[in-house]
Amino acid sequence: MSRHGRWAELLPPTVVILAAIVLWELVVIVFRVPEFVLPGPMAVWAALQKWRAAIWFNAEQTLYTTLVGFALAVVGGMGLGLAVGYSTLVYRALYPLLIGFNSVPKAAIVPVLVIWFGIGTIPAILTAFLISFFPIVVNVSTGLATLEPELQDVLRSLGASKREIFLKVGIPRSLPYFFASLKVSVTLAFVGAVISETVAANRGIGYMMLAASSRFEVPLVFAGLVVVATPDPGPIAEARSILSHPMGSIWAPRAVVFNRVVPHAWAKAPAALDPIGTNLLRWAAEAGHHEALRHSFATRTGITPTALPWLAEPPASPLALADLMRSAGFDPQLS
């Protein structure tokens, strides 16, 4: 992305956030709102500086419980989502139970967890897990359900078994849905951890906010809210920015089909796989993955790039790719 494009992306939200902060401060000053009702941004910033050590101490605990609960939700949600999407029997048996359990407010479960595990870290981890688990299950199973029947028919005609289709096509197809669910689940995990800490904990941002509110130290309460709203785990953000990109979500599962399931059949009768293969090449070219795709095709099929002009070099545009593919006898299917 160019520097101009990056500024065009960052400037609008930055301006809106700064304007909201200024308006907030002005409202507090003009209407003389008491600090114990609504502290201004300057008072919140002062609380952040004054209680920095205490905030950091409690934030570490909240981050730990959130990440552990979120990790459990990722592993469990991915596994159960794949099972629900793969087996109709599992779907019919578990999906109504999952829907019913998800409708239960998680705050109502925290007292039960306290009775079972006591006050401390475990209830917060389990609450973060329970509240962030369901979106992952639903999205992964939905990703498997979107596998086109026509694509499955083509793969079966090429000798792929149900297990191979599931492992080499179904799981990659569910990955964009999986990473999309992480954007929701990681936020819910923070919510679950903080909720549990406000009910039964002796450390954490939720506990700190509850203790501060009992002493009417409202700026510290808002400082806790700022801390909870700020974290954005880098690896998750990076992964989701790649796999939730429109071209990435289209290209990723089809690239696995191209690389692992159909290359040898394509080498024998490439025209039989149109428009799947030609569309894949078009998507790859648009997404900037031409070099990796070209190398994979050459190594897996034994066909040198020079034998197929539309693989020899990156095309200047999708239209240029279409011209090259027509010269090789392929239907580009650009519509």
Q: Which tens digit of pLDDT belongs to each residue from 306-317?
A: 555 545 555 555
Q: What is the pLDDT of residue 313?
A: 55
Mean pLDDT within 118-131:
91
pTM > 0.85: no
pLDDT at 183 over 70: yes
- Amino acid code (one letter) for 173: R
Query: Are residue 148 and residue 297 in the same domain, yes or no?
Result: no
Burial class, 15, CB count within 10 angstroms (exposed 0-12 / middle 13-18 / buried 19+):
exposed
Q: Is residue 335 part of a domain?
A: no
What's the confidence (pLDDT) of residue 1? 53
**How confident is the model over 127-151, as a mean pLDDT?**
87
Residue ending a domain, among 193, 227, 244, is: 244
Residue 198: partners with Cβ closer than 8 Å, 6 or more residues away: 206, 207, 209, 210
Res. 170 pLDDT band, cuts 50 70 90: confident
Q: How far apart are CA 221 and CA 236, in angstroms?
A: 27
Of the candidates 237, 136, 133, 149, the one whose C-alpha atom is nearest the C-alpha of residue 177 is 136
Is 252 found in the same domain as 228? no
CB 267 within 8 A of CB 299: no
DSSP labels for 84-101? Answer: HHH-HHHHHHHHHHHHHH
- Which alpha helices (H) appear in 146-262, and where do they start and end? 149-157, 162-165, 171-199, 205-214, 218-229, 234-243, 246-256
* The total number of residues written for the chain in this structure: 335
Per-residue pLDDT, averaged over 105-128, amounts to 89
Check pLDDT > 60 for residue 27. Answer: yes
- 233-285 confidence digits (pLDDT tens): 333 334 334 434 433 333 333 333 333 333 433 343 344 334 444 444 544 55
Which pLDDT does position 229 carry in this prediction?
A: 79
The last residue of a domain, from among 203, 226, 244: 244
Which of 244, 262, 294 corresponds to the end of one domain?
A: 244
What percent of the chain is modeled with pLDDT above 70? Answer: 67
Residue 185 domain-assigned? yes
What is residue 269's DSSP assignment?
A: -
Is the Cβ–Cβ distance between 285 and 314 less than 8 Å? Answer: yes
The two structure tokens encoding residue 297? 């095709």
Whether 305 is in a domain gets the answer yes
Same domain, 132 and 272: no
Q: Kindly tell me if the per-residue pLDDT of 95 is higher than 50.
A: yes
Q: Minimum mean pLDDT among 61-70, 127-136, 156-165, 255-264: which range?
A: 255-264
In a domain? residue 236? yes
If asked whether residues 50 and 151 sit together in one domain, one would say yes
Given this model, what pLDDT does residue 87 score?
84
User: Which distant-in-sequence residues (6+ apart) come within 8 Å of 318 by Cβ?
Assistant: 282, 285, 286, 334
Within a domain: residue 181? Answer: yes
Find the domain containing 25 and state its range.
Answer: 1-32
User: Same domain, yes or no, for 99 and 144?
Assistant: yes
Query: What average pLDDT does this structure show over 133-156?
Result: 84
Please check whether residue 334 lies inside any domain of the structure. no
Please provide residue 329's backbone torsions phi and psi, each rounded to the nearest 5 degrees.
90, 20
Q: Are residues 86 and 139 in the same domain?
A: yes
Contact yes or no for 240/183 (Cβ under 8 A): yes
Tell me, yes or no, whether 274 and 216 share the same domain: no
Tell me if 333 is assigned to some domain. no
Is residue 254 assigned to a domain? yes
220 shares its domain with 76: yes
**Please, which pLDDT band fits residue 79 given cuts at 50, 70 and 90?**
very high
* 151 and 239 fall within a common domain: yes
Provide the domain count of the chain: 3
Query: Do 28 and 134 sit in the same domain of this protein?
Result: no
Pair (191, 77) in one structural domain:
yes
CA atoms of 112 and 141, how far apart (whole Å): 29
65: pLDDT confidence band, cut at 50, 70 and 90? Answer: very high
Q: Does one domain contain both 276 and 190?
A: no
